[in-house]
Structure 1
């Protein structure tokens, strides 16, 4: 009888251990993070407090960058945000999910204005670099 109780306690403890969520992780322009993200897996800190996300950034209606990784649950808001910064029309779409390696889509919500500005700044720098190298 005591063996059965011990087994139930052990199974209950093991069942409550949270296994880390695994997400694809990459940041980059064009196809580098759009399709070539397999093999870039990362364990999130906690499957209870984090989700996987994918974010797509468009500049003047052209897809320019993708980002995939872990994000805090409180920052997950699926959808798109359109903005105009210094004459450039930007559209940032984000999608969160909660199963291992689920951030495979190419859709994508702005989780904070700071991240939006960082993404837009990166895209603008890449555009300027491409123009300068031509």
Structure 2
């Protein structure tokens, strides 16, 4: 797309969508949202950037190959079940920790780690699809 307005607005929209996708992912177990929806929002942000600027600028914006991002997310999701096995509980049983970091109690959980892994899987897979479609359009 060659409109100057879209090309000028796309980087700001992409950044805003990526920030919102992280917000949706992290609130996923308490309210509507989660890793899948957050990942779709992030992949849509990269797709908008690709529509505005083309294949190579989109690849440079990713910095890491999308399949590597998806593989990291799959590994993270699979590893999120290991703490329950270490505690002699069934695989993927939710575990919660509340460490104090810099004087603030932070609630951490294995479902949150799983959601973050799903986020990376969805971002990697759908961005890879968008890159293939964008690359095919230029030739």
Per the normalisation by structure 2, the TM-score is 0.23
More helix per residue: 1 or 2?
2
More strand per residue: 1 or 2?
1
